[in-house]
């Protein structure tokens, strides 16, 4: 019997870092858990930004259906009104007798609904970081050297020494304690380590630098110079930006930080998150909870590490950003790997199914229990994904093909340039890294996929609630400061 459900979101974790055959062995604990779980090798998110992706996870609905397509400050009143009309997982679990708790990154606003316990959103740290970034940006526009100096002063005043990272065992203990006091519990864990600026203890970073090759490394300032000076991307890469600043505690050099260091930091964050998950599984076993707890481990979206000219961000509807790792540990279920197209929207109806919840609202996803237990095929032939926060693009993919179309002129709001043509078509079987746009020689396939995309968009849009009214949240200002401190604008 499933007494507890734990969902662990490792924000911006790329699918190619889990169960990888590249010899790096970055996720030994995730891989070990996968060997005792159901692992989905073709799982996809609905989008590339956290607000809409996590909402898809918590409602089982597509952004076109639950209403939230943007992220942070760009979420409109209409989007808030629409999502407020959709019942989310914590509310349903709570109604069915589960204690509900959120651990890790607080997203606040509509994400808080239904949780008995929720982390504190307000923090003077985030107010300070947001203020620092605004001042550094303003003074950099006056003169770069002034902005650099101010940023350095802030770092010396407020960032004395290395960040106090929790030991993996401490992180695990915090989660498991939420399960022991109740007969049934739903715990939603959101770890930010693999999100910029890629946070991990210094030893993890040094180990990655010593252990792995990070070739073709370039200075961050050189990469930043390839973008318009006032672009969000350029500002995040150069001195004072979230990517640049995050590298400073880990290296002592007179030269500018390089992309190789940032790539190593990302891998170090993967290893650190993996260690925390390993400690969680170990703690569940030691307290006798492992065999009655369903564990879902996944990411909300992936991350670009330079692919298609996108550095240390998660925009672009490519495999590195929309394909996600997904595993479900179901007590008593034989481990297996399933190579079928599944969506982040399928997670919630699957959890409801195994938890015995039969009064949940409808979703756009489907329970994967028949696929897991009976070997049935997923009732899906394509995946629809979209993005609105940085670029306005939409993608539809099948087992072999991915078609991407811009919904405007294709200019990226973060990079102030176009990353690709307005229409793209990739043969995923022959070109899994999506290096060659083959739309000109395959117009018939693109036309078919475009028509299928429009049909699916119309179907999902009809499910959206058209609620009216101005929605306000008490924690909106604090959340915007948190997001600005992370580099969002």
Which of 122, 106, 121 lies closest to 51, judged by CA?
Answer: 106
In a 3-state reduction of DSSP, which class is residue 112? Answer: helix
- Residue with the two structure tokens 């569940």: 284
Which of 197, 62, 36, 203 lies closest to 129, judged by CA?
Answer: 197
Instruction: Give the separation between CA 49 and CA 316, rounded to whole angstroms.
Output: 10
Which of 335, 370, 341 lies closest to 353, judged by CA?
Answer: 370
Cβ neighbors of 381 (< 8 A, separation 6 or more) are 341, 398
Residue 341: the pLDDT is 97
Residue 123: the pLDDT is 55
Query: 479: how many CB neighbours lie within 10 A of its CB?
Result: 21
Residue 250: the pLDDT is 53
Q: Where are the domains of the chain?
A: 4-159+166-486
**Element housing 25 (H / E):** none
The alpha carbon of residue 233 and the mean position of all alpha carbons in its chain are separated, in whole angstroms, by 18
Q: CA angle, 402 as apex, 397 and 407 as ends, to 5°?
A: 95
Residue 36 structure tokens: 């005792």
Residue 484: the pLDDT is 74
- Residue with the two structure tokens 């949780």: 115
The alpha carbon of residue 17 and the mean position of all alpha carbons in its chain are separated, in whole angstroms, by 14
Residue 121: the pLDDT is 76
Q: Please check whether residue 331 is in contact with residue 40, taking contact to mean a CB–CB distance below 8 angstroms.
A: no
**Element housing 186 (H / E):** strand 185-191
Residue 215: the pLDDT is 82
Cis status, amide bond into 272, omega within 30 of 0: no
Q: Point out which residues pair with 102 in neighbouring strands.
A: 188
Instruction: Give the separation between CA 171 and CA 276, rounded to whole angstroms.
Output: 6
Instruction: Give the separation between CA 23 and CA 194, rounded to whole angstroms.
Output: 20
Residue 154: the pLDDT is 43
pTM exceeds 0.95, yes or no:
no
From first to last of its 489 residues, the chain has per-residue pLDDT tens of 799 999 999 999 999 999 988 878 999 999 999 999 999 999 999 999 999 999 999 999 999 999 999 998 899 999 999 999 999 999 999 999 999 999 999 999 999 999 999 998 765 444 444 445 544 555 545 555 545 544 454 444 434 344 568 888 888 888 898 887 778 999 999 999 999 999 999 899 989 999 998 888 999 999 999 999 999 999 999 888 889 876 655 555 556 789 999 999 999 999 999 999 999 999 999 999 999 999 999 999 999 999 999 999 999 999 999 999 999 999 999 999 999 999 999 999 999 999 999 999 999 999 999 999 999 999 999 999 999 989 999 999 999 999 999 999 999 999 999 999 999 999 999 999 999 999 999 999 999 999 999 999 999 999 887 766 788 888 888 887 777 777 666
Residue 389: the pLDDT is 87
Find the largest Cα–Cα distance for the chain.
Answer: 65
Query: 463: how many CB neighbours lie within 10 A of its CB?
Result: 16
Residue 30: the pLDDT is 97
Q: Considering the domain 4-159+166-486 in this protein, what is its CATH number? A: 3.40.720.10
Residue 240: the pLDDT is 81
Cβ neighbors of 157 (< 8 A, separation 6 or more) are none
**Element housing 39 (H / E):** strand 38-44
Residue 157: the pLDDT is 40
Instruction: Give the separation between CA 114 and CA 57, rounded to whole angstroms.
Output: 15
Helix axes 168-180, 259-286, angle to 10 degrees: 40
Q: Are strands 293-298 and 4-10 parallel, antiparallel or unpaired?
A: parallel
């Amino acid at each position: 019997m499933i007494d507890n459900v734990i969902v662990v979101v490792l924000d911006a974790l790329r699918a190619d870092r889990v169960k990888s055959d590249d010899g790096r062995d970055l996720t030994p604990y995730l891989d070990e858990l996968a060997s005792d779980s159901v692992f989905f090798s073709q799982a996809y998110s609905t989008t590339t930004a956290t607000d809409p992706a996590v909402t898809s996870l918590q409602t089982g609905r597509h952004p076109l259906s639950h209403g939230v397509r943007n992220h942070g400050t760009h979420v409109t009143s209409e989007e808030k009104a629409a999502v407020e009309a959709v019942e989310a997982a914590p509310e349903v679990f709570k109604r069915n007798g589960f204690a509900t708790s959120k651990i890790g990154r607080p997203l606040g606003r509509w994400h808080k609904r239904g949780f008995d316990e929720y982390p504190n959103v307000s923090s003077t740290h985030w107010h300070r970081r947001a203020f620092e970034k605004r001042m550094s940006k303003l003074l950099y526009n006056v003169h770069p050297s002034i902005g650099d100096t101010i940023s350095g002063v802030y770092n010396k005043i407020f960032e004395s020494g290395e960040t106090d990272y929790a030991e993996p065992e401490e992180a695990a203990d915090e989660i498991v304690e939420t399960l022991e006091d109740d007969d049934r519990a739903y715990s939603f864990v959101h770890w930010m380590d693999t999100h910029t600026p890629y946070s991990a203890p210094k030893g993890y970073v040094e180990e990655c630098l010593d252990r792995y090759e990070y070739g073709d490394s370039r200075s961050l300032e050189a990469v930043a110079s390839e973008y318009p000076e006032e672009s969000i991307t350029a500002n995040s890469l150069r001195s004072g930006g979230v990517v640049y600043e995050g590298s400073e505690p880990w290296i002592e050099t007179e030269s500018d930080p390089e992309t190789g260091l940032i790539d190593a930091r990302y891998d170090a964050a993967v290893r650190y998150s993996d260690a925390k998950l390993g400690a969680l599984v170990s703690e569940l076993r030691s307290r006798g909870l492992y065999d009655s707890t369903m564990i879902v481990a996944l990411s909300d979206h992936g991350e670009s590490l330079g692919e298609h000219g996108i550095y240390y961000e998660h925009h672009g509807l490519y495999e590195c950003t929309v394909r996600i790792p997904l595993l479900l540990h179901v007590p008593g279920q034989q481990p297996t790997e399933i190579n079928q197209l599944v969506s982040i929207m399928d997670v919630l109806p699957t959890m409801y199914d195994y938890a015995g919840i039969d009064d949940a609202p409808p979703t756009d996803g489907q329970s994967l229990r028949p696929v897991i237990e009976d070997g049935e095929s997923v009732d899906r032939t394509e995946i629809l994904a979209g993005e609105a926060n940085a670029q306005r693009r939409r993608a539809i993919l099948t087992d072999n093909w991915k078609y991407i179309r811009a919904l405007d002129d294709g200019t990226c709001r973060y990079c102030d340039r176009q990353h690709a043509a307005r229409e793209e078509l990739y043969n995923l079987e022959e070109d899994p890294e999506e290096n060659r746009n083959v739309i000109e020689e395959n117009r018939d396939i693109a036309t078919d996929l475009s028509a299928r995309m429009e049909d699916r968009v119309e179907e999902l849009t009809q499910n959206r609630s058209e609620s009216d009214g101005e929605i306000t949240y008490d924690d909106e200002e604090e959340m915007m400061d948190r997001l600005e401190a992370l580099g969002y604008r």
